[in-house]
Amino acid sequence: MSGEIKNRKFTEFLASRDTFRVYMGKRLLFASSKERLLPLLEYMDNFLPYAAGVIVFDRVVGNAAALLLKKILCREVYSELGSETAIKTLLSSGIDYHFNKTVPYIENDSRQDMCPMEKLSLGKSPEEFYGLLKKRNC
């Protein structure tokens, strides 16, 4: 998919009610309007083995999502909002990222502290973090 097509698809995504989309080339593999990490986890549960090189559009990408994006073999991610901790994980994973806005970390709902999933993900490998989520039944 060319850069122009990806930008057009991202604009369409932002105008939609979807919170998460996964593309393989120009083909839409998965879309969801669920919140937080739920769409990504649903994709993970339903698309094994993962198609290498997918492009993901997500509303918010923190370190938690970045770790899971590595696990699903994502090649590139587009988001309205991303965290600096996510950028470090994405760079070390070889995943290209495009964020409209970058913040130090993803905040919790009250905006008084770090998002619990962002906190839980720090210092974890994708496998460790995914295992913790499965134990919590997220």
Q: Tell me phi and psi for residue 54, to 5 degrees.
A: -70, 155
Q: Name, in order, each residue with C-beta under 8 angstroms of 38's C-beta and a sequence gap of 6 or more.
A: 32, 138
What CATH number does the domain containing 13 carry? Answer: 3.40.140.30
Q: Is the pLDDT of residue 28 over 70?
A: yes
* Secondary structure letter of residue 17 according to DSSP: S
pLDDT (tens digit, 9 = 90+) per residue, 31-64?
Answer: 999 999 999 999 999 988 888 999 999 999 999 9
Share of the chain above pLDDT 70, in %: 99
Joined together, the tokens standing for residue 37 give 């990490």
* Secondary structure letter of residue 68 according to DSSP: H
HSE-CB of 35 using CA atoms within 13 angstroms: 2
What is the extent of the structural domain holding 112?
3-135
Residue 65 CA to residue 84 CA, distance in Å, equals 12
| Inter-residue contact 47 to 29 (CB < 8 Å) | yes
Q: How many independent structural domains does the chain possess?
A: 1
* CA torsion, ordered 49, 71, 94, 12, to nearest 10 deg: 80
Query: What is the per-residue pLDDT for 2?
Result: 80
